[in-house]
Amino acid sequence: MKKGKYILALFLIFFVLIIATIASFFYYEIGRPPAIPALSYLEIKLEGPLQEYPETNFWASLVLGARPLAVYDIWMCLRKAKVDDRIAGVLLRLGVLDCDWAKCSEIRDSVLDFRKSGKKIYAYIEEAPEFDKEYYVATACNKIILHPLGWLGISGIGGYVPFFKKALDRLGIEAEFEHVEEFKTAYNMFTEKGFTEAHKIMTEAIYRDHFEHYVRAVAEARKKSETEVRGLIDEAFFQGKRALESGLVDDLLFDDQVRGLFRKEGRPSKRTTLAEYVRIDPVSVGLNTGRRIALIYGTGPIHGGESLYQSMGSETIARWIRAAREDKSIAAIVFRVDSPGGAAVASDTIWREVALAKKEKPFVVSMSDMAGSGGYWVSMAAHKIVAQPQTLTGSIGVLTGKFNLSRLYEKLGVTAEKISFGKRSDIYSTFRGLTAEERQLFKKQILWIYDQFLIKAAEGRNMTKEEIDKIGKGRVWTGSQAKQLKLVDEIGGLAKAIEIAKGLAGVDKTEEVRLVIWPKKTSFLGAFFGQRETPLGIRLPSGLEKALAAAGRLDQEKIWALMPLIVNF
């Protein structure tokens, strides 16, 4: 009987090893660079969710399926295609992108840089009734091509901001939040029935700045006046011939005709997809060599503990920054931030590591779609901050609070009896509201945190506390506005941030550098046997309980440096 159990156990071990070997084989086979024939063109499909950096963990890749569309991949592949003699040009197939304006600006900058090679890059649109951000990207290309029956919509920027207070009142839910100060409107959708004056001023200013930048860019690219562009936006929808007549597109072609755009001397060109080309080592085309610069990604809401999928855990980010600081071979650090903020203490933990790293080597922040509140907190100690014109940043302010569900419980017939030791032991309970005294207590706590925010921002930006307070009070600014207010130093994207980091490190701007990227890629065997990581990329030095603890802390942290939601409905 025992012999049979041993045989079964050995069989299971052997089976697991075989499966692991096969999975690892396929993983690395997929990772091998493809053969790129001469006279190829790179085809990039820009559609759907757009991340900052692709998922690097084997388990997460397995769960999520295909490699997600990522800004880093597009940026690096266009850089490679620019110098790769095998690539004759690029075709962007544009669909509706799920991202904000700054990521679109990042791609647009990369397209303009690619054009310096003299190679052609074309944008192809089949049908897009809501297409302003995407059209903004398309205008950087040599030509914009529309399907002959295609529908192009450029209707402008705006929409509706929802408010849920009336609905919550009907349900018996009361949102009780204290904030610093009047522009800190992250929870206004739950506490107000419409815009407060400050909320409206801020939101209109953001939309207006985005719109004006959009109009200027389109006017310059399409060789029109801004008045003409505004008129076309008011017309909104263009189909086929009308889009061509209006000067919004350069040609009307079917898909098979588009594929022939890169023919040379009668020879057909070969298509290379982004999924294939991303596997080409940049070193093979002369890029990513030389002195080392760390590129650290901090994306998503900020919380204590380890990072979860698309979130910024303070322990994880602090560990990465510390590793880059202590690595003597790394000449400078670029911190790519895309975050609406989160827990104040977690943000301060990351700020501390940035401040320490700054003392030892150049530290540059590159802001993506947003770096507001906690996202600005983790950035403000850097030597230089670079933002796109449309980056949402600032929001120097703090809030705290809870939802009172007592009336909802009453409607549902839910009852509770109180057992409490300590006058404030039930202050966060959903079974009762806050007293006036408790509201003042909350206000006092967040005013102290706000004061620390002001002090550290003033130190980082070489301004006075009073100057920061005037542009703080929770207000969100666009990148272009923030530059005028000295909250950021330069307008640009990742390439600009790397260029500045090179300059600060004494590296010639024409010299290539090797990017050392965090998060690191994890293989199948590494994830299964070596590095102790969960399917979502959380490093677990003490096991699974560490991941569960990290998730639980999202609910435990009560004081937030969180920016308001800017949405279109």
- pLDDT single digits (tens) 341-397: 999 999 999 999 999 999 999 999 999 999 999 999 999 999 999 999 999 999 999
Report in angstroms the alpha-carbon separations of 193 from 69, 163, 404, 433, 560.
37, 6, 17, 20, 23
Question: Tens digits of per-residue pLDDT, 48-100?
Answer: 999 999 876 555 555 445 688 999 999 999 999 999 999 999 999 999 999 99
Average pLDDT, the chain: 88
Contact criterion met (CB below 8 Å) for 144 and 126: no
Output the pLDDT for position 159: 87
- Which residue has tokens 């997460």? 60
Output the pLDDT for position 267: 74
% of the chain with per-residue pLDDT over 90: 78
Output the pLDDT for position 127: 87
Phi and psi at residue 393, in whole multiples of 5°?
-145, 180
Decide if pLDDT at 534 tops 60.
no
Kindly indicate the confidence band of residue 128, based on its pLDDT and cuts at 50, 70 and 90: confident
* pTM score of the predicted model: 0.89
- Give the whole-angstrom CA distance, residue 406 versus residue 482: 42
The CATH homologous superfamily of the domain defined by 37-155+236-283: 2-enoyl-CoA Hydratase; Chain A, domain 1 (3.90.226.10)
Question: Tens digits of per-residue pLDDT, 166-182?
Answer: 999 999 999 999 999 89
155 is catalytic: no
Residue among 79, 81, 76 nearest 54 (CA): 76
Question: Tens digits of per-residue pLDDT, 485-496?
Answer: 999 999 999 999
Question: Tens digits of per-residue pLDDT, 535-547?
Answer: 333 333 333 343 4
Question: Tens digits of per-residue pLDDT, 16-31?
Answer: 555 544 444 444 445 5
Fold of 289-398+434-560: 2-enoyl-CoA Hydratase; Chain A, domain 1 (3.90.226)
Output the pLDDT for position 11: 65
Q: Which residues contact residue 404 at a Cβ distance below 8 angstroms, ignoring those fewer than 6 apart?
A: 173, 174, 175, 176, 430, 432, 433, 434
- Give the whole-angstrom CA distance, residue 375 versus residue 372: 5
Domains of the chain, by residue range, sit at: 37-155+236-283, 289-398+434-560
Output the pLDDT for position 548: 45
Rounded to an integer, the average pLDDT of 121-131 is 92
| Amino acid of residue 158 | G
Task: Quote the Cα angle for 197-203-205, to 5°.
Answer: 100
Identical fold for domains 37-155+236-283 and 289-398+434-560, yes or no, is yes
Contact criterion met (CB below 8 Å) for 180 and 399: yes
* HEC-encoded secondary structure of 252-281: ECCHHHHHCCCCECCECCEEEEHHHHCCCC
Question: Tens digits of per-residue pLDDT, 303-342?
Answer: 999 998 889 999 999 999 999 999 999 999 999 999 999 9
> If DSSP codes are grouped into helix, strand and coil, which group holds residue 97?
strand
Catalytic residue, chosen from 373, 379, 395, 523, is: 373
H helix and E strand count, the chain: 22, 22
% of the chain with per-residue pLDDT over 70: 84
- Which residue has tokens 């949405």? 567
Decide if pLDDT at 2 tops 70.
no
Output the pLDDT for position 352: 98
Rounded to an integer, the average pLDDT of 107-118 is 98
Kindly indicate the confidence band of residue 291, based on its pLDDT and cuts at 50, 70 and 90: very high
Q: Which residues contact residue 47 at a Cβ distance below 8 angstroms, ignoring those fewer than 6 apart?
A: 69, 93, 94, 95, 96, 97
Give the number of other Cβ atoms within 10 Å of residue 235's Cβ: 13
Output the pLDDT for position 263: 80
Crossing angle between the packed helical segments 101-115 and 494-504, to the nearest 10 degrees: 70
Residue 540: left (phi > 0), alpha (psi -120 to 50), or beta? beta
